[in-house]
Structure 1
Amino acid sequence: MVQSVHRAVRVLRELSTAGPRLGVTELAERIGIAKPTVHALLRTLEAEGLVRQDRETGKYLLGPGLLQLGNSYLDTQELRTRSVTWADALATGTGEAVWVAVLAGDHVLVVHHAFRPEGAVQILEVGASIPWHTCALGKAVVAFQPSSQRTALLAGELVRLTGRTLTDPAALAAQLEEVRGIGYATEEQEAALGDAGIASAVFDRSGEAVGAIGVVGPVERLLADDAVRQKHAVAVREVARNLSRELGAGRGTPWQAGA
């Protein structure tokens, strides 16, 4: 590991999670390195457009260069590219918003968002990062990760976002086993009060779960009763299967779960 690169990444992560504005002293204390070193890192990152300095406070913020890198990542994300048509079809069929996400550490990153068909004002959630255990998308994709990775994630920090967030590792492990059996995951007000989700994992040609696709919306619509829940689950699971096929998944892969 190149130490200077590692430290620069830590600076960017601190600004993204603890910011939005942090000074040299604050960053040095958070990262645990000398102020001159932090200052040198910030000047280099600023020259590359990855951070910028607020003229009034002298503190540092993330820079526009990160957006360019993020957009480049999305452009090369095969799951996102392949999912656009399927996500639109799922949104039309269910009348709900559809998110596509990939696992990034202990969070899921939303890489595509198809708006629900109705004309109400909606906020684009591409780029949103959500703790894996608080949403259906995260549970769907983690359920099909190698057992060692599932164990590591269950042993990691399980933050509580609402009073309904499940943080007990044993209970979460049981949920993941259920997901593996029925082929989809649900979430009820665990990430945000009033919201719910239903999602299924998506697999590629290697048989790896590379992400998940699912519907998100108000709990009273998505999980109104068992019939509504099952209707949405069947639609989500079928779209996930079709998307997996388009990514080259064979018929022996786990997306047949719950068939």
Structure 2
Amino acid sequence: MSPDLPSAHTQPPAPDPWSGLRAFTAARIALGRVGTSVPLQEALAFRLAHAAARDAVYSALEVEKLTTGLAQLSVRVCVVRSQAENRPQYLQRPDLGRRLHPASRELLLGHSMAPSDVAVILADGLSAAAVQQHALPVLQLLLPKLQAAGFRLAPVVVAEQARVAISDEIGQVLQAQLALILIGERPGLSSPHSLGAYFTYGPRPGLTDEARNCVSNIRPEGLSYALAADKLFFLLQEALRRQLSGVLLKDEMGLLDA
């Protein structure tokens, strides 16, 4: 081989056309490869992300810490649980996570003194870590907006082993026109602590998902606390004004600002 000709082994690799996209997404793209597999660093990162997602599913609410934070917002707080007795049962029996435990229902009835406009619920869902990290920062921005607008607030409810639909029963018991639940979303491999917000007008057991509105991916890496609070405030006002929620209620906040 001529010394003037570079060896194929010394030529720099061609640039990866996907690599520039990694600056815009946490999705697993442009991972590279070693032989027929991904590089060791990427394989280990995948296993770490999978472990974080599993940990989020089995995480538990720090109820005392959460209620202490809520007390600093000058709101009444009530702690309840669903009919699921423990985490394994909660994961295996979604139906039990949608209904209040009878003792918790009786407890809430004692707090239902007068009709309200909004019942706010914090629930562990599939990532208690998400609620622990993000729920209070959202409420710090949202509750003053609701109070300034004249919304009558029911006591804030902290619900353990709870699914989204438990908000329907809680809202009905508290005589609320709207039930808003902040709940840990199903963990992803790039988002083990994403918070979702669901609300329903005229809450009552038996409603299905088309009756709800959702604002999802609330976290610093996704939808910011400030924007989430603004969206929820706009949608809750519209739901109360139009007396509906779900597929008939659209997020038109951006259209009004244009």
TM-score range, shorter chain: under 0.3
Query: What TM-score do the two structures reach when normalised by structure 1?
Result: 0.27
- In terms of fraction of residues, the more helix-rich structure is 1
Query: What TM-score do the two structures reach when normalised by structure 2?
Result: 0.27
Query: Which of the two has higher C-alpha Rg?
Result: 2
